A = this chain, B = another copy of it.
């Protein structure tokens, strides 16, 4: 089981990026996203609307404290300061992937089982999550056969099942 934790969500600034983080989590095979920071009904609604249209059981939950989520899981914190993710992407069991916000508490580096960088360059927590999960699931993605909307891959234009 893969879950994702988004740290430090801010309603005014982070809605789009946090939504991208959640949708990437869903598309690459996570079952749930938790987030800390400001509770944001509009963020939750955006994610839930996509799930209701495109299928699957992905859920979103605001939590006050993240520490209790770490118990019994392999915790992978994505950070540009971390060790090369290619060394640690062959993980088993229940995995919690932690995606930072503007300021990550120092203890996250201590509590995580792995601090990993997807390149050691500044880019995007959204891309880091996508690339890390892609390796984790070996490019095998959920198909969401229960979706009301199901896109049919097409070389030109837009098609649906």
Q: For the complex, is A64 an interface residue (Cβ under 8 Å from B)? A: no
Size class of the A contact interface (CB-based, 8 Å): 35 or more
Identical copies of this chain, number: 2
Q: For the complex, is A43 an interface residue (Cβ under 8 Å from B)? A: no
| Interfacial residues of chain A within 1-41, with CB under 8 A of chain B in the complex | 13, 16-17, 20-21, 23-24, 26-28
The complex places the Cα of A134 from the Cα of B130 at a distance, in Å, of 10
A-B contact pairs, 9 of them (CB 8 A): A23-B121, A81-B157, A81-B159, A82-B154, A83-B154, A115-B156, A117-B151, A120-B153, A127-B129
Please name 15 further chain A to chain B contacts, defined as beta carbons within 8 Å, in addition to the given A17-B20, A23-B124, A124-B126, sorted by A numbering: A20-B126, A20-B127, A23-B121, A24-B124, A27-B127, A81-B151, A81-B159, A109-B156, A115-B154, A117-B151, A117-B153, A119-B141, A120-B152, A127-B129, A128-B130
